[in-house]
Amino acid sequence: MKFVVDHQLPPALARFLESQGHSAYHVRELGLKEADDLVVVSKDEDFFFFASVPNAAAKLIWVRVGNCRTHFLLEKFRIRLPQIIASFEARSHVVEVR
């Protein structure tokens, strides 16, 4: 899968997702091209509304973890990543990480 990590999350999250075999970019690195399987990773509720409308093309990992240290956030993703991927493969458009 391809992931885009929003600006309020650390670039280390994109590197972690890459280390797990996925394509990942922090928004600082982006030049969006064709991205038909793109998943946005964000804490921003605005993305939730874009991804939750009927027939939305957007997919979102909605990070609902409060302010925390990077290592804590990466551990949350390490534990949940298989479930996250399975949810998107089952055609979910929004997956929350709490």
How confident is the model at residue 87, as a pLDDT?
96
DSSP assignment of 20-67: TT-EEEEGGG------TTEEEEES-HHHHHHHTSTT----EEEE---S
Closest CA relative to residue 50, chosen from 98, 1, 6, 2: 6
Which structural domain range is residue 52 located in?
Answer: 2-97
The phi and psi torsions of 16 (rounded to 5 degrees) equal -60, -50
- The mean pLDDT values, 10 residues at a time, for the chain of 98 residues are 86 95 85 62 85 80 94 96 96 94
Q: Tell me how many domains the chain contains.
A: 1
